[in-house]
Structure 1
């Protein structure tokens, strides 16, 4: 298999066939992000013959059916079939024509493959027409994972995300219209010291206008090679404490009014949680309160400072 650098995938794509379609990120300007610093280029597209070679190799060993969690999260059909997750920071940035060529190639080698997922930026959705989104859904693209990070416009602008909260709402409405399911990644701590709860409030205001299958919360971890670290040294931004981050997550869980799976499963989370809203809101809030009161800032901060890599 041809893989470039560290391969990132959502926790719930663990049973999917990981096929590299791109490497790097088309944006690569977020101040906090260091995920692709090891790559000597910004963004690269895999050649179709290379992907075909990987699919041929994968035929020899990949026979897993769609996992139960994917079926539940993205409303996918229960019959056994494989799912492919395209590797890369945002393969959905590719032109619709190329994405459909990839889906045709996947089906040639895996006729049982019914769904294809990948990471996507809000701007990747905006670059597609409504007809293209409909065609991509017909081609099997569903269960996108979108790192919205926050609905706090000030934080989005400071971090150079390249979109605003209203863009999240508008583009997700277009995904809904095309029947393309999607999950969100939220980044606790992105609003900065003293603004976490306000950031959570603004995020719930945006999320409550959308229909994500899952909201996965991760904790901001700042590395010295990030642009954000230099902003801290220059006195332009202050990091939230670990307790503030959990208070922010509590505000997020309290404010979400939509039916959605909530999860904290990535390595950036010292304690992993998962539950369904609104049914398990009470249990999630109790668990978060316990983390704040029983684990405390020192132990949580120790985890953060010793987290060498995400």
Structure 2
């Protein structure tokens, strides 16, 4: 018997802590597609799933996972959709999955901009409880260089709206993004902004450049110099040292040469000690060899 299939197209990514969530496609590709370092959605144009398609998928999910409690909506940044479209989706989730307790998704900082705090509260009321945001850094020169399309002031303003609306959020920090010589400045600027916010998790990923990214050509042209591995460790240490908020650090991504996990402020001393040991004992060439062997994220 042929089983019904869900409408998944393009690359499908989800954070590791969403491993037990039911996945549902709302968009594919990215609305921005300009970040110089990114190759995650290479070759996949942005597409918004029709509500009829979403409803078909929910009927399948209801059949096979009728008691699903957590749904993670896929796409690079489905939160870019209008408030009304997101509300329609939330209502469909409630209709077909009555046992669902929460849902989440990825977002760009700029996806929050057109939505008022009241609208965000309404989405939260319909079980949107968390958003994962590819912040990358709050260092304005690096944000400009990488064509992120926003600045540190936008990060502070938009994530503050999520705090006010009661929606939890996790951010991604891209270690080494500023290039050689800019790591400490990037970490310091990011800590300064995050210390005024309330991220639940700070995911640390280390920049790994693949041929599909525009940044790869900059490396070939000599207009961008990658941050050395020891410098990246110093950058990560600086970020953790300067954070004063209560949050969780997830740095166990394959791209990190030294995987770390901890809760701040409780584990700060242990994390800093771990970095100090790594910085003083690991040869640069050994860490670089590890990065060169990363084939995909």
Question: Could you say whether these structures have the same fold, taking a TM-score greater than 0.5 normalized by the shorter chain as the test?
Answer: yes
Residues 11, 266 of structure 1: 8 Å contact kept: no
Equivalences, count? 292
Could you say which residue in structure 1 is the equivalent of 2:53? 50
Taking only aligned residues, the RMSD between alpha carbons, in angstroms, comes to 1.5
Cα 1:305–1:119 shift into 2, 3 Å? same
1:13 corresponds to which of 18, 21, 26: 18
Q: Matched residues in 1 for 2:185 and 2:258: separation?
A: 23
Q: Matched residues in 1 for 2:32 and 2:238: separation?
A: 30
- Aligned pairs for 1:109-188 within 5 A: 109-188=96-175
Could you say which residue in structure 2 is the equivalent of 1:62? 65
Moved over 6 A (4+): none
Could you say which residue in structure 2 is the equivalent of 1:73? none
Could you say which residue in structure 2 is the equivalent of 1:277? 264
Moved more, 147-156 or 219-228: 219-228
- Aligned pairs for 1:187-202 within 5 A: 187-202=174-189
Write the deviation string for residues 239-258 of structure 1: whole angstroms up to 9, x where unpaired. 10111111100000000000
Residues 21, 71 of structure 2: 8 Å contact kept: yes
1:85 corresponds to which of 72, 87, 99: 72
Write the deviation string for residues 238-291 of structure 1: whole angstroms up to 9, x where unpaired. 110111111100000000000000111323223432110000001111222333
- Structure 1: gaps spanning 5 or more residues: 65-80
Q: Matched residues in 2 for 1:305 and 1:283: separation?
A: 28
Q: Matched residues in 2 for 1:44 and 1:288: separation?
A: 42
Could you say which residue in structure 2 is the equivalent of 1:72? none
Q: Matched residues in 2 for 1:152 and 1:17: separation?
A: 35
Residues 119, 145 of structure 1: 8 Å contact kept: yes
Could you say which residue in structure 2 is the equivalent of 1:216? 203
The yes-or-no answer on 1:35 pairing with 2:64 is no
Could you say which residue in structure 2 is the equivalent of 1:75? none
Cα 1:228–1:59 shift into 2, 3 Å? same
- Structure 2: gaps spanning 5 or more residues: 1-5
TM-score by length of 1: 0.90
Moved more, 259-268 or 28-37: 259-268
Q: Residue 56 of structure 1: CA displacement?
A: 2.2
The yes-or-no answer on 1:100 pairing with 2:103 is no
Q: Residue 63 of structure 1: CA displacement?
A: 6.5
